Amino acid sequence: MFLRILRFFILFFPVVSFSQTDQDSAWILDNYTKTEVYIPMRDGVKLFTSIYQPKDKSEKHPILLTRTPYSCAPYGTAFSPRLWQRHIKYYLRENYIIVTQDVRGRWMSEGEFMDVRPFIANKKGNETDEASDTYDTIEWLIQNIPNNNGRVGVFGISYPGFYSTMAAASGHPALKAVSPQAPVTDWFIGDDFHHNGAFFRLDGFRFYSSFGKPRPKPTTVPPKGFDFHIRDNYQFHIEYKTLKELAGLMGDSIRFWKEMYAHPNYDDWWKARDARRAMYNIKPAMLVVGGTFDAEDCWGAWNLYKAIEKQNPGIYNKIVMGPWYHGQWASRDGSKLGPIRFGSNTAIWYQNNIEIPFFNYFLKGKGEEPPLAEATVFFSGENQWKRFDQWPPKEMEWRPVYLNEGGTLSFRPPARNAKQKFSEYISDPDKPVPYTPEIHFNRTIEYMVGDQRFAARRPDILVFQSDILEEDVTLAGPVIADLKVSLSTTDADFVVKVIDVFPYDFRYAENENPENNSVILGGYQMLVRGEIMRGRFRNSFEKPEPFKPGKTETVKFELPDVAHTFKKGHRIMIQIQSSWFPLADMNPQTFVNIYEAERSDFQKATIRIHHSAEHPSAVFLPVLNSSNKN
């Protein structure tokens, strides 16, 4: 999350071929005009909007709108380079009217900004939310832009994905197609700032220390970021160990930061900011897009799609999930992430075969209706796109894989005569488990497929590994961790990681490894999915409960959906730990308000993971039947 502003520039200003860029930019500058306007909302607030309009008058053109808190810069007569440096250039070749708007209270727009502004289902009078702002914007556009065809589409990535979701709830009859991409959906359960109630401090602090600064009046000047005096993010967050100390660095001016601290549990304040609550009576065609290796909003994409599907039976609602980091599908290269190769340029394939045909059909009436499956999902491991008529697939079946004595992992439950009834480790808040072994400043994107060998060698991590697989095992759906645990303290976190262990002789074909990657892939422990659960929320996110020391209890939680094939000859590994630092904040391991905890509240905890016949711990895998993998 903290890279969102930086990633704005990475996504909008990538390195591309100069000859191609020059050609595209010259054509766009010759064939488009730019206009900047203030569009009035129903309460009188005016929103700054940039409009790029084709000079072509031979036909009427559709409008493609993005609403963003990250600026529709550059302001003035200059054209935005993203128009020719991203795949949006293909929409300009199709003569779309491209519109970008600063949302209420951001950059050059008037009004007061509110993060993930709650949706108001039954608005009265001049009440506004992001849905009404979208409605009023669309109404103005179709009434005031000459030569438009009366059809509007909305799309956006990440926070603009949230605004796309709200657009879908606007109810404007001219809105025909919406694509929320990596959409912010629920900031407490699974996206960005919290995962199952655990605060993601690394992203949160980097992002809000600049993004959250107040903007009293419209401006074109970006906020200044925090001046980090330590460039090692692990060390920085160790030195400011408590969230109370981190708040001291943030200061008192960041509104949303203070509000988060004031709502440590999943109360009505958080529930009002769950975008799924707005997803009823949806009329436009929906295309939800995300990345299975998106460190920020993977959960949001999967779960927004599911909510739309459940709450709007029969509407046009599709999902596409590729093997991508945050926003990679909008880049020019979707062939790899870190050392992991995907066998083809999945981003270009998606752009040409999914997104552009989707908008062309619904906004231009061009071609036949795209033959999109309900779910088009790329499976890493075997590097294949698969199409399904529902998600999770009806061919999926839950298969528990059990933790067993000796660090073994088996589809067979523990034997009654097993000698080892549990495995244990000591979780030390002074030495939390890093999420990646490198010393670095910015949070990485590659950690989502990162090699976990460094973690497997630590004494405060439990490792359970299967035998060598005799056939492929394909996972298609969410993973359920079902742990039987006991603690020496009153609280703890639980991180469960699903890992693909490569054979020792593994290597990519030469044509898949053009950069001669120096990473040793033999024995690589690829993170397929990892997730954290704040133990106090094991029974309720609304009403946290302490653990009773020594008592065996169940911690059961869902990991975001997986689309991966463990190939024959590989192994499945499960790792369990109680810190993932500084990605997530460190649990004091005592039942206190973590946002107000003092250093004296942090204690070591002896944590037992039980794996006996009486108390079996398992991870339920969504296994796709071998006869139905296409």
DSSP secondary structure string for all residues of 56-93: --SS-EEEEEEEESS--PSPSSPPPTHHHHSTTHHHHH
pLDDT score recorded for residue 370: 74
CATH code, residues 396-624: 2.60.120.260
Cα torsion 426, 427, 429, 435 to 10°: value is 130
pLDDT score recorded for residue 430: 97
pLDDT in tens, 535-559: 999 999 999 999 999 999 999 999 9
* Residue 22 pLDDT level (bands cut at 50, 70, 90): low
Distance CA 295, CA 292 (A): 9
pLDDT averaged over every residue in the chain: 94
The overall pTM is greater than 0.85: yes
Q: Residue 477: which residues within 8 A CB-CB, separation 6 or more? A: 391, 392, 393, 396, 561, 562, 622
> Is 7's pLDDT higher than 60?
no
CB-facing half-sphere around the CA of 526: CA atoms within 13 A:
25
**H or E stretch covering 175:** strand 175-181
pLDDT score recorded for residue 229: 93
* Residue 3 pLDDT level (bands cut at 50, 70, 90): very low
Q: Residue 613: which residues within 8 A CB-CB, separation 6 or more? A: 413, 414, 415, 416, 418
Q: With H, G, I as helix, E, B as strand and everything else as coil, classify residue 303.
A: helix
> Is 1's pLDDT higher than 70?
no
pLDDT score recorded for residue 130: 98
Can you give the residue ranges of every domain in the chain? 4-186+273-280, 396-624
Please, what's the b/e burial string for 500-534 (b: 16 or more CB within 10 A of its CB; e: otherwise)? Answer: bbbbeeeeeeeeeeeeebeeebeebbbbbbbbbbb
Q: Are residues 461 and 401 in contact, defined by beta-carbon separation less than 8 angstroms? A: no
Distance CA 606, CA 592 (A): 18
> Is 174's pLDDT higher than 50?
yes
Token digits for 66?
């993005």
For domain 4-186+273-280, which CATH number applies: 3.40.50.1820, 1.10.3730.10, 3.30.479.30, 3.50.50.60?
3.40.50.1820
> Is 375's pLDDT higher than 80?
yes
Q: Residue 87: which residues within 8 A CB-CB, separation 6 or more? A: 330, 332, 351, 355, 356
Distance CA 72, CA 220 (A): 10
pLDDT score recorded for residue 512: 66
pLDDT score recorded for residue 371: 78
Distance CA 47, CA 435 (A): 41
pLDDT in tens, 580-623: 999 999 999 999 999 999 999 999 999 999 999 999 999 999 99
> Is 317's pLDDT higher than 50?
yes
Q: Residue 577: which residues within 8 A CB-CB, separation 6 or more? A: 425, 427, 433, 455, 458, 460, 461, 462, 495, 497
Mean predicted confidence (pLDDT) in 306-320: 98
> Is 158's pLDDT higher than 70?
yes
**Distance set, CA 473 to CA 266, 305, 382 (Å):** 36, 25, 10
Which residue type sits at 130? E
Among all chains, which residue has been given the structure tokens 């009436």?
365
* Residue 511 pLDDT level (bands cut at 50, 70, 90): low
Q: Are residues 322 and 292 in contact, defined by beta-carbon separation less than 8 angstroms? A: yes
The percent helix, strand, coil of the chain (3-state, each to 5) is 25, 30, 45
Q: Are residues 65 and 154 in contact, defined by beta-carbon separation less than 8 angstroms? A: yes
pLDDT score recorded for residue 366: 83
Please, what's the b/e burial string for 448-459 (b: 16 or more CB within 10 A of its CB; e: otherwise)? Answer: bbbbbeebbeee
Q: How many residues does the chain have?
A: 630
Q: Residue 362: which residues within 8 A CB-CB, separation 6 or more? A: 151, 153, 176, 177, 284, 285
pLDDT score recorded for residue 367: 74
> Is 21's pLDDT higher than 70?
no
> Is 266's pLDDT higher than 70?
yes
pLDDT in tens, 417-470: 989 999 999 999 999 999 999 999 999 999 999 999 999 999 999 999 999 999
Mean predicted confidence (pLDDT) in 349-363: 96
Token digits for 477?
């759906």
> Is 15's pLDDT higher than 90?
no
Distance CA 302, CA 186 (A): 12
Phi-psi category of residue 128: left, alpha or beta, with phi > 0 → left and psi -120 to 50 → alpha? beta
